[in-house]
Amino acid sequence: MISKAKLKLIHSLERRKYRLEESLFVAEGPRLLDELLPVMQPVYVAALPTWLEAHRHCLTPSVTTDCLTPDELRRASLMQAPQQVVALFPLPHPEWDDRLASENLCLALDGVQDPGNMGTICRVADWFGITDIICSPDTVDVFNPKAVQATMGALARVRVHYADLPSLLARLRLPVYGTFLDGSDIYAQPLSDHGIIVMGNEGNGISPKVGKQVTQRLYIPNFPRERTTTESLNVAVATSIVCAEFRRRQQQ
């Protein structure tokens, strides 16, 4: 059985204000929990008895648990279709080190607003071995419940930082790549195995202040090039294409 206080706490975490106050975020579903549990422990788990029985060995004695009925799970869940388990995890606070970008590829997100895009970009980063993402303060919170679900567990391996992008990029003095409609064909440009790849807002692209720090402006050409197409790609799709090309070059 779950208390009214626990239900109130879970639902309050839909809002960033309360996530910061409680230093907690919500993760739901067996697939997501299977990814997170090997690297971080929740503080609280509410689940159907079948899930709890199968995963007791994954939880330390300090984790508070509640065994729920399907109806209780529906009331606790933030999803339209609840998936066996709701868990509360401590918010991670990863430390940024400038050396990360001097030795590896990192992503930077400038004003990305959609939680689904945010989560998908984390999955893309995870797939292509990019372990650090730097976000502008106006980028959506990666611990928004919708974003967490969209990561599909990539948060177990990808660290997300929030910082003032223009000042951070200015001090790095490293290759900074950005996607622009007037950029140069990505398939014909030299690409580094380290530095920062900047992806911009869904509607406005990369902001002028961040754009000033970009050292190489890239463009993903449509095919065939003379054909009229949609104005631009979804930011998560564009991130996938860009990351794939960077990694392809490294394998040559």
Nearest of 218, 223, 211 to residue 245 by alpha carbon: 218
Residue 124 shares a structural domain with residue 246: yes
Return the percentage of the chain with pLDDT > 90, whole number. 91
Q: Is the pLDDT of residue 208 over 80?
A: yes
Give the pLDDT score at 230: 75
For range 92-117, the mean pLDDT: 94
Q: What are phi and psi of 182, to 5 degrees?
A: -105, 20
Choose the final residue of a domain: 64, 90, 116.
90
Residue 162 shares a structural domain with residue 187: yes
The band of 118, judged by pLDDT with boundaries at 50, 70 and 90, is: very high
The residue type found at 227 is R
C-alpha angle with apex 140: 186 to 237, nearest 5 degrees? 30
The band of 227, judged by pLDDT with boundaries at 50, 70 and 90, is: confident
Nearest of 117, 29, 141, 39 to residue 78 by alpha carbon: 29
Residue 236 shares a structural domain with residue 135: yes
The band of 229, judged by pLDDT with boundaries at 50, 70 and 90, is: confident
Residue 109 shares a structural domain with residue 231: yes
C-alpha angle with apex 7: 142 to 62, nearest 5 degrees? 75
Residue 245 shares a structural domain with residue 128: yes
Give the pLDDT score at 22: 97
Choose the final residue of a domain: 55, 90, 125.
90
Residue 33 shares a structural domain with residue 126: no
Residue 84 shares a structural domain with residue 193: no
CA gap 94, 100 in Å, rounded: 12
Q: Is the pLDDT of residue 225 over 80?
A: no
* CATH label of the domain that carries residue 106: 3.40.1280.10
Helices and strands: H and E segment counts in the chain:
11, 10
Q: State how many domains the chain has.
A: 2
Residue 205 shares a structural domain with residue 188: yes
Return the percentage of the chain with pLDDT > 70, whole number. 100
**Residue 208 buriedness (CB in 10 A; 0-12 / 13-18 / 19+):** exposed
Residue 78 shares a structural domain with residue 141: no
Residue 15 shares a structural domain with residue 130: no
* CATH label of the domain that carries residue 84: 3.30.1330.30
Instruction: Write down the mean pLDDT value for the chain.
Output: 95
Choose the final residue of a domain: 62, 90, 118.
90
Domain that holds residue 169: 99-251
CA gap 20, 51 in Å, rounded: 28
For range 172-200, the mean pLDDT: 95
Q: Where are the alpha helices (DSSP H) in 87-219?
A: 99-103, 115-127, 145-151, 165-172, 208-211
Q: Is the pLDDT of residue 226 over 80?
A: no
Residue 78 shares a structural domain with residue 186: no
Tens of pLDDT along 6-35? 999 999 999 999 999 999 999 999 999 999
Residue 57 shares a structural domain with residue 110: no
Tokens of 11: 């639902």
Tens of pLDDT along 63-100? 999 999 999 999 999 999 999 999 999 999 999 998 99
The band of 129, judged by pLDDT with boundaries at 50, 70 and 90, is: very high
Preceding peptide of 92 cis, ω within 30°: no
Q: Which stretch of 132-141, 205-214, 228-237 has the lowest confidence by average pLDDT?
A: 228-237
